[in-house]
A = this chain, B = another copy of it.
Amino acid sequence: MVDILHRVGVIASPDAVYTALTTIDGLSGWWTEKTTSAGDDVIRFRFDRPQGEDGFDMKVLKTVPGELVHWEVVAGPEEWIGTHVRFQLKQEDDYTIVLFSQEGWKEPVEFMYHCSTKWGTFLMSLKELVETGAGKPAPDDVQISNWH
């Protein structure tokens, strides 16, 4: 079992970051514009690819205002299903620190290398959204390679 880890600091309150992680409006402002509620505490994230639409469904397992957002991947690429995504928040000086993890990858496959870098750029998009009002969600996300 291997994990993806990241740490970014957002110059904003924990509540502002928490809102960007727990509302459709917030999530669609930094990850993908195609974010919808699928009921039953499931959030649906979709991406337009050359080969058609794909994406992830996240079951919200736990939220603690200003402190924690915890999802489980319930639909998406096989390698993602059953992994857990956590955003832990804490305040340090003027920053809200986001400790991010996607835990439970079975193998460090090449797709995991890709997702690690993509999560990094999306977390920078989260930082930008909360700090400036505009992030870089898909389809206008930062392209890092031939896999987009």
Contact A127 B146 (CB under 8 A): no
| Chain B residue contacts of A146, Cβ below 8 A | 9, 92-95, 97
A121-B120, A121-B124, A124-B144 as given contacts; A5 in contact with B95, CB under 8 Å: no
- Say yes or no: is A110 at the interface (Cβ < 8 Å to chain B): yes
Q: How often does this chain occur in the complex, in copies?
A: 2
State the majority secondary structure of interface residues on A: mixed
Task: A21 to B95: give the CA distance in the assembly, Å.
Answer: 33
Report yes or no: A116 in contact with B113, Cβ–Cβ below 8 A.
no
Smallest Cβ-Cβ distance to A120: which chain B residue: B120
Chain B residue contacts of A62, Cβ below 8 A: none
Are A9 and B145 also in contact (CB < 8 A) when A2-B2, A120-B121, A124-B121 are? yes
Give CA–CA (A142, B113) in the complex, Å. 21
By a CB distance below 8 angstroms, the chain B residues around A114 are 7
With contacts A5-B112, A97-B145, A116-B120 known, what are 16 further pairs, Cβ within 8 A?
A: A2-B2, A3-B108, A5-B108, A5-B113, A6-B113, A6-B120, A7-B110, A7-B113, A7-B145, A9-B145, A99-B110, A100-B113, A101-B113, A117-B120, A117-B124, A124-B142
Interfacial residues, chain A to chain B (CB-CB below 8 A): 2-9, 92-95, 97, 99-101, 108, 110, 112-114, 116-117, 120-121, 123-124, 127, 142, 144-147
